[in-house]
């Protein structure tokens, strides 16, 4: 299979990481699920020169189906492990954005200091324990940290986000980096006041409610999946809750 449109989606997300300020140079990688396994960005190729034909097709066991402009990203274990274990995930993005990576180097999670943390699916954006890049051990750590989540930090390394599409994973990565920069800014003045579990539960409920018909164009691809604490069966029922406007009346 050719997967032309999905190849373009991977290329655009890979280029978008640099354009949106998430990465500099060649770090970061993007994958998308296909019947054969996954499409994955190749290793050590500048994304500005990456074309759809250069995308590598791999089985989830790492076997190369189409070499593209290979070799595949050294983080293929991480992408494969998530796609194999999470049928709700269609795309995985990994990047090294400055503020989120700074927190990851302190091995700190992003707590519920802001209600938009709920976008990542829970009441925090956790930090996965350290393991050497490119290893199955790192993939296992990330998979655990992503339980009930759509994003996590990687200790002394960067972030991972997931979505139904590469574009959705990219948008979430931008949100995570924005939250990280806000959290770092707040920490410079003092410890921020954290929202309670009850307050975050209300946010999760509102996000799900907006997903039932109150989404706004331009935010629709940032939908939380209702996988957070106390979430319902949105995913099983195939619904896709939409991101609420951040400034809606009555929003916390
Ligand atoms: Zn990395």
Residues 153-171 have pLDDT tens digits of: 999 999 999 999 999 999 9
Whether the per-residue pLDDT at 230 is higher than 50: the answer is: no
Catalytic residue among 75, 109, 171, 225: 75
pTM (two decimals): 0.85
Q: How far is the CA of 192 from the centre of ligand 1 (A)?
A: 29
**What structural domains does the chain harbor?**
4-189 (3.40.225.10)
Alpha-carbon distances, residue 226 vs 96, 186, 218, 219 (angstroms): 26, 27, 19, 16
Q: How far is the CA of 74 from the centre of ligand 1 (A)?
A: 9
Give mean pLDDT, residues 205-230: 55
3-state secondary structure 89-118: CCEEEEECCHHHHHHHHCCCCECCCCHHHH
Whether the per-residue pLDDT at 240 is higher than 90: the answer is: no
Are the C-beta atoms of 58 and 65 separated by less than 8 Å?
Answer: yes
Q: How far is the CA of 27 from the centre of ligand 1 (A)?
A: 6
Pick the residue with more confidence: 211 or 1? 211
Q: Is 202 a catalytic residue?
A: no
Q: How far is the CA of 216 from the centre of ligand 1 (A)?
A: 33
Q: How far is the CA of 101 from the centre of ligand 1 (A)?
A: 10
Are the C-beta atoms of 16 and 172 separated by less than 8 Å?
Answer: no
Residues 57-112 have pLDDT tens digits of: 999 999 999 999 889 999 999 999 999 999 999 999 999 999 999 999 999 999 99
Lowest mean pLDDT among 5-14, 168-177, 197-206, 239-248: 239-248
Whether the per-residue pLDDT at 189 is higher than 60: the answer is: yes
Compute the mean pLDDT over every residue in the chain, rounded to the nearest whole number. Answer: 86
């Amino acid at each position: 299979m050719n997967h032309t449109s999905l190849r373009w989606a991977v290329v655009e997300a890979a280029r978008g990481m640099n354009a949106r300020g998430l990465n500099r140079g060649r770090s970061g990688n993007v994958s998308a699920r296909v019947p054969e396994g996954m499409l994955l960005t190749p290793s050590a190729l500048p994304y500005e020169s990456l074309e759809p034909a250069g995308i590598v097709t791999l089985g989830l066991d790492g076997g190369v189906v189409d070499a593209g402009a290979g070799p595949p990203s050294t983080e293929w274990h991480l992408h494969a492990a998530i796609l194999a274990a999470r049928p709700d995930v269609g795309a995985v993005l990994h990047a090294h954005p400055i503020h989120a990576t700074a927190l990851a180097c302190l091995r700190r999670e992003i707590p519920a200091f802001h209600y938009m943390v709920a976008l990542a699916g829970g009441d925090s954006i956790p930090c996965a324990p350290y393991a050497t890049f490119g290893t199955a051990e790192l993939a296992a750590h990330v998979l655990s940290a992503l339980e009930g989540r759509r994003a996590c930090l990687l200790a002394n390394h960067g972030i991972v986000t997931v979505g139904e599409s590469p574009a959705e994973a990219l948008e979430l990565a931008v949100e995570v980096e924005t939250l990280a920069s806000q959290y770092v800014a707040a920490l410079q003045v003092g410890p921020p006041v954290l929202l309670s579990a009850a307050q975050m539960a209300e946010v999760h409920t509102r996000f799900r409610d907006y997903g039932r018909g109150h989404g706004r164009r331009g935010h629709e691809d940032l939908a939380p999946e209702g996988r957070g604490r106390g979430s319902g069966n949105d995913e099983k029922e195939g619904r896709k809750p939409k991101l609420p406007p951040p400034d809606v009346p009555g929003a916390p």
